[in-house]
Structures are given as structure tokens and as C-alpha cells.
Chains A and B, each alone.
Chain A
Amino acid sequence: MERAAIIGVGWYGLRPTTPEVSFREMVFEAATRAYEDAGIDPRQDVDAFLSAQEDFWEGIAIADEFAPEPLGGVLRPTVTVAGDGLQALANAVMLVQTGFFDIVVVEAHGKPSDIASLGEIYEFALDPIHHRPVKPAHPLFMMAFDAQAYMMRTGADPSHLALVAAENRARGLRNPRASYAAKISVDEVLEAETIMDPLTRYDIAGYVDAAIVLVVARESVAKKLSDKPVFIDGIGYATETGTGTLEWHSWGRMPSMRVAAMTAYAQAGIGDPLSSTDFAEVEDRASHYQLIALEELGLAPEDQAHKLYERGEYELDGYYPVNPSGGSLAMGVALEATGLVRLLEAVLQLRGEAGGHQLDGVERAIVASWRGPPTTTSMVAVLSGPEMGF
């Protein structure tokens, strides 16, 4: 079975507001860049299109109907995945591996600046029978549940979370896509206003509008069309229970990410991810998730992520660089496009095109993302760069 490879990437936005474009125009801009990057004509060369979106983020019921046109997919096979863009990518990989599809396009976008009642949409995602009637002040409380449980289990304290927040935001200063980059100290993070104890405003990522488009090709086709294909060696995703999601969830852990990682590692033939890969772009829409993700991904021993982090093991020149892009804390959360924003960063690193935050000699990467509160859905991909493919 042939592997799938990414031969084109395009992005637009990654800014807190994009009033100059409609969501359709944002997707068109990203698509145009991806097709130029891959050197393909979407009206001739693409066998299927996949879009990741969710109706209440869009503000349009059955928003799938709007997916084809900005991608060049009108009257062509197009389908929507109601999930993160990485889930759509996993479906694209499967389509390619059937052997019937040479080139598949994947799109995800988020335009949170168009949503005037973002908190209420999160509330609407809660269980209607068990959770909504309780009327929690803000549905992001669950991120703080995870933070508290994580600290109790591991012995980490708020300064460890603040260290992640300060470092990721500072790393973003070298990344032109990082709207929330900032030079702030650990103390400034700790002393900032508390949003949901123990998380301060700097511990929680902001929102950005973004569209990401990928061109995915079958290995043999990719090698003909591109001199810098990035191969998807493995990709997995999983969701925990829906009913009782707050009651049954192991707070301070991400079982769905562990399962997604095992799937992706098995496909990629990876035993030890630390020695088999060179860096990772991992979930950090609140600072503690980066530490939790490191443990779930097998990149840190149980309960030890914060200690290794403190020792500088995950710095850009450390033993295993994590989030060279600055992560979501620096680049923001783009709703269902968040996973592909992180994947974009990994692709650029593997191609040697990351610019100011380029790592030296990286050949293999892990991308791990969560679909965000109140979901228990995570996705993990293992990518290898052009040199590894030949």
C-alpha cells in the first residue's frame, strides 16, 4: 500500500479578525496558495475534496453545501468531516490508500471573529440533559478541571504552566503566523488576571481566523509532482464517551490522544517516539495541555513532563524540541482548523521552510491536537520529510 504525501500547503489569516474576507474568500485564498505550491489545477487534477467544519461554528445549517466552491470542487466529489482538520486529513489518507484517488484536497477553516456568541455555542455543545441545566458560568471550566487534576497528580504548580505559556508566546516572536506572540515573563503570566483558576489569561490561547488547505497525493504521484513531499507515515484519532463526558473523563489526562498516538505510531512502525522522531507540534490551547500531551504521546515519562520541561529538554536546542512555532498559545485557536495549523508548521519545518524558527536537520515529526472543549477527541499524525521518502 502506497503512503500518502502532502505536496502542497496554503494558509490565509491566522489573525484575530479578518473583516476583509468572507469565510469563502478566506478558503479561496488558502486554496489558491496550496495549488500554486503543489503546481496543480484543482479543476483538472483533483479526485476528491474534504472539508472539516461544524455548522454552529459556521452559523449555517448544512454548511457542507458551501464547501466545494472556494476549493474548485463544484460538481466534483466533496464531503465534509464534522471535526478537526486532522480528522479530514486521516480520511484523505484513507481515500488515497484505496488506490482509486491520486490527489485529494483537504480544507479546514475557522472564523471565530464572525461568531458573536462564542461562549453560548460552547454551552450548546454540552450535554443537554445533564450539563446545560446546571448553567456553569463559562463552559471553559473543563480546561481548569484538567489543570487542577494534572497538578495534583504530578506535583506541578502554576509556575510550570506559566513557564509553558511564557516560552510558547516568546517563541512565536520568530513566527510570522503568531498573532499572540509576546515577550512576557513567568511572573507576568502568574500575576495576570485569573480566568478559570489556576489559569490566567496568558495560560489560555486566544482565537484566530484561519483557513488551511492541503494537497495530498499518492506516494508515486507525489514523487512525480513534487521535489519536497512530506509523507504521512501514520495518523490516528479517537473520541471518549459523550454521555457523562464530564463525569467519566480522567481529568488531567487525554486518553483519546494516547489512543490516537498508538494508532499513528503503529502505522508508522514507531516503538519509541522520542528516538524515532525529531520534534513535535503538540496541543497547547491552555498551557497545561502541552505537559499532558507530552506524557500521553510517550514523549515524557508518567508525571515527569513538567520536570523535564523545567530542565529545558523541550527547548528549541534541547533534547527534543516541542512547539517551535509557539503553538496555539502564540498562533491562536482556529476552531476546526487548529490541528492543520499545527500540521502546517510541521510540514514547513520538514521542508526547511520554517524561516526564523527553523530547526536544524529535522526529518520526522509528531503532530498532536485536541478538538478543544468540551470534546474528548484527539488526533495524532507522524510525518516524515522529503529526504526520508526516497
Chain B
Amino acid sequence: MSGESGKPKTPLPGTYLKRDEYMKLPGLIKYKPVARYLFSAGQAQSRFLHGLKEGKILGVMCPSCGRVYVPPRAYCEYCHTPTSEWVELPGTGTIHTAVVSYIATDRSRLEEPEIVGVIRLDAPGYKEDQYEFAGLFHKICGVTPEQVMDGSAIGMRVKPRWKPAEERTGSVTDIECFEPVEG
């Protein structure tokens, strides 16, 4: 579309507008909405967030079908019954899927590519299948983009890298990332 200078290689006919000239044209109305919220995390997610603050990954089990929910829900979406029994997961797991991202939300180029993925958490006693498992979406560290791109990262054993206890706030970012289990 455009050359390195940002201008078309072959100039198009017409009058070129500078950005500020363009923004001053009648017919362009700028508006920035003010949309602020205070989301109630609710019963299940609040308990989960309290767990993170204590360095624990908590899941909740459906009494009817035995599914373990991480992230937790107050209800089983398959049985439509309230979930009841809380379980502490060891935190370890395997990389279920991962990607390397080279661009930010505004499509600007990242200086360092970022790796994000879904971690299939170990949930002893829970018979998971291909699509339903206790898991978390998070950043992945200690893994190279090449390992992600050649597929060797998939299935890799990982564990959470926790923030120091005094820095945890009860947020999913109390886990900095998931990183490979040593050895």
C-alpha cells in the first residue's frame, strides 16, 4: 500500500491533507466515552481471587457431573446446578495452546514478542476431556517464540510464577506468568 516514507510510491492526483488539516474538516466529530464500572466479581470469582492472594489456585466442583471449574463458576453450566465443593489445585499444568504475538492492540509493533496461552491445570480426580478442563489463560514466560512456533511448547509442563506475597492484590495478575517446571 505505501512505501517506507508512508507516502504512495506513485503519487495520486489531488491535494494532500496534513493530519491536523484532516482532523479539522467539518463532518468529523471526535468523542471519547466515559465508561467506568465497578464489577462485582460475585461469590465464586471472589473466593478464587482471595485464593490467588494466598498463592492458591482454587477450583469448584459440580456435585452432579464432577466437573472442576477453573475459573470458578457459582453454577455448573452443563447441569444448571449450584457448584459446591471447593478444591485447591496444585497449580502445575501443561501448555494446552500458545501463540506468539508481535503486535499490540493498536497494531503497533511490540519490541519483544509476547507469548500467551491456555494452561491445562492439573486437577487430580477430575476426568477431563479434550475440550473441558480446569484451566487458565495467561502469559507464558521462559519459553522462546521458536519453541511455540515449532510446537515443542505445547504439552510442556508449567507452574505459576507468583508475585511476592506482599505485592498480591487478589487479581489474576498475582500470577505473573506460567513458566516451565525445572528439570
Contacts and interface: CB of A to CB of B under 8 A. Distances in A.
Contacts of A132: 31
B75 A70 contact: yes
B44 A25 contact: yes
Given A25-B43, A129-B29, A59 B35 contact: yes
A72 B35 CA distance: 30
A162 to B, nearest CB: 33
Interface of B: 29, 31, 33-45, 73-75, 77-80, 82
Contacts of A32: 80, 82
Main secondary structure of the interface of A (DSSP, over half): helix
A7 B78 CA distance: 23
Contacts of A113: 38, 40
Contact of B36 (A21, A111, A117, A123): A117
Contact count band on A: 35 or more
A99 interface: no
Interface in A102-146: 111, 113-117, 120-121, 123-124, 128-129, 132-133
A124 B43 contact: no
A124 to B, nearest CB: 5
Given A21-B40, A31-B80, A32-B80, 13 more contacts: A18-B40, A19-B40, A20-B40, A22-B40, A28-B74, A43-B80, A56-B35, A114-B37, A114-B39, A116-B37, A117-B34, A117-B35, A120-B36
Interface in A28-65: 28, 31-32, 35, 41-43, 56, 59
25 contacts: A20-B43, A21-B40, A21-B43, A22-B45, A22-B74, A24-B42, A24-B74, A28-B75, A28-B82, A32-B80, A35-B80, A56-B35, A59-B37, A68-B77, A69-B75, A69-B77, A70-B77, A72-B80, A111-B40, A116-B37, A117-B35, A120-B35, A124-B33, A128-B29, A132-B31
Interface in A218-269: none
Contacts of B75: 25, 28, 69-70
Given A21-B42, A74-B77, A133 B35 contact: no
Contacts of B40: 18-23, 111, 113-114
B105 to A, nearest CB: 13
Contacts of B45: 22
A123 B80 CA distance: 38
A111 B78 CA distance: 25
A129 B36 CA distance: 23
Enumerate the 3 nearest inter-chain pairs by beta-carbon distance, A residue then B residue, closest first. Answer: A22-B42, A72-B80, A120-B34
Given A23-B40, A69-B73, A121 B80 contact: no
Contacts of A72: 77, 80
B31 A59 contact: no
A22 B39 contact: yes
Contacts of A22: 39-45, 74
Contacts of A20: 40, 42-43
Nearest to A124: B33
A25 B42 contact: yes
Nearest to B79: A43
Interface string A280-316: 0000000000000000000000000000000000000
Question: Which of A18, A19, A25, A56: most chain B Cβ within 10 A?
Answer: A25
B39 A59 contact: yes
Contacts of A35: 80
A337 to B, nearest CB: 16
A115 B37 contact: yes
Contact of B38 (A21, A41, A114): A114
A124 B78 contact: no
Contacts of A120: 33-36
Question: Which of A18, A21, A68, A114: most chain B Cβ within 10 A?
Answer: A21
Contacts of A43: 78-80
